[in-house]
A = this chain, B = another copy of it.
Amino acid sequence: MKSLADNASLGERVATGDTRAVARAISKVEDGSQDAAQLMKELFPYTGQGLVIGITGAPGAGKSTLVDKLALLYRGREDRVGIVAVDPSSPFSGGAILGDRIRMQALGLDRGVFIRSMATRGNLGGLARATVDAVSILDAAGYSKVIVETVGVGQDEVEIVKAADVCVVVLVPGMGDDIQAIKAGIMEIGDIFVINKADREGVYATEKELEALLSLASRENGWEPPIIKTIATENKGVVELAAAVQGYRDFHFQTDLGNKRRRAIARWRILELLREKLVSRTLASDSASEKLDRLADEVARRQRDPYSAVEELMSQKSVVSSQ
C-alpha cells in the first residue's frame, strides 16, 4: 500500500487499497450520494483488472459457505478477495447486518478480505446499480478476485450476476422442483454449475436432470458449462470450482463473444443508472416530493389512477439539478 498525502481524495485512497476509504466509497454509492458519480468516474481507470465472480442460487443452497471457502482458497494463493453479498429480501436491514457479523468470525480478521452486504434502501431502487458500483470499487482497490453473491432468483439478482465475468449457479440435491422452477432463466446465465451438499441423497438424479436441461439450452459461445460437486462445509470440491472459474475465464477472453457480453453488461449498467438519475432529478425539488405524497394519497383513496398521477408528476417544469 502506497502512502499518500493527507489531502488525497477518496478516489486516490481507494486506488491504493485503503480499506476505510473502500468502505466509505461503497457507502456513498449505496446511498446514491451526490458525489458518487464523480468518485466512480475517478475510479474508472483503475477498474477492469480483477476477476468478478457471480454466485447465485436458491436460498438454503449453501452459497455463503461456498463463497467463504472459495475466498479462503484464493487467499492462500495471495489474491486479495472482495465479497459483495446482496440481500434484497431484507428491506429492513436485519439480514445484511446479521450476515456481516457471522462472517466476521471466519474471514473478517484477514485484512486481505473485504466483505460487504448490500441491502435494499428505500423505494427508489438502485440496488443493482449500487452493487455493480461496489464491485467496481473493490476492483479499483486492487482486489484481484471480487465475488458477488446474491440470495434468490429475482430479476435484479439475475441482472447483478449476469454483470459478472463468470456466473456460477449453485444447486443442491433433491431439488427437482427447484430445477423446474428456475429452469430456463438461470440455466442460461450459468457458466458453471455447482451441486453443493453433494453428500446428500439424490446427487446423481440432480446431476442427470441438470445435464438433460443443459443439453437443451443452446449456447452460442460454444462453452459447455461444467458441473462441479462440492461439500462446502467440508471444503470439498472448492479447488475444482476455482479451476473451473479460471477455465471459463481463459476460454472467455479468447472469444469474440466476450465483447458481446461486455456490451450487454454496459448497456444494462447505463440503463440502470439512467433510470435512477431521471427519477431523482424529477423528484429533486421539495415541491415535487410533496406532490408525490399528495398523489400517492389520492391514488390510495381511489380518487385518481396511477397513470394520470404520473402524467401530472412528469408535466411539471423539469428542474434540472446542477449535479
Chain A interface residues toward B at CB < 8 A: 37, 40-41, 44, 48, 58-60, 62, 87-95, 98, 120, 123-125, 127, 151-159, 175-178, 181-186, 188, 259, 262-271, 273-275, 277-279, 281-282, 292-293, 295-302, 304-311, 313-314, 318
Contact = CB atoms under 8 A, between A and B. Distances in A.
Contacts of A123: 159, 267-268, 271
A282 B91 CA distance: 30
The oligomer's copy count stands at 2
User: What 5 A-B pairs have minimum CB-CB distances, sorted nearest first?
Assistant: A154-B154, A94-B184, A59-B181, A44-B305, A266-B299
Contact of A277 (B92, B293, B304, B310): B310
A158 B91 contact: yes
A306 B269 contact: yes
A183 B275 contact: no
The prevalent SS among residues of A at the interface is helix
B188 A92 contact: yes
Contacts of A181: 59-60, 89, 151
A263 B183 contact: no
B186 A89 contact: yes
A262 B300 contact: yes
Nearest to A154: B154
B185 A90 contact: yes
B274 A314 contact: yes
A178 B61 CA distance: 8
A89 B182 contact: yes
Contact of A274 (B90, B151, B185, B282): B282
A183 B98 contact: yes
20 contacts: A41-B308, A44-B307, A59-B177, A59-B178, A59-B181, A89-B153, A89-B154, A89-B184, A89-B185, A94-B184, A120-B155, A123-B267, A153-B153, A154-B154, A154-B156, A155-B156, A263-B300, A266-B306, A267-B292, A273-B306
A224 B254 CA distance: 57
A207 B279 CA distance: 42
A59 B305 CA distance: 34
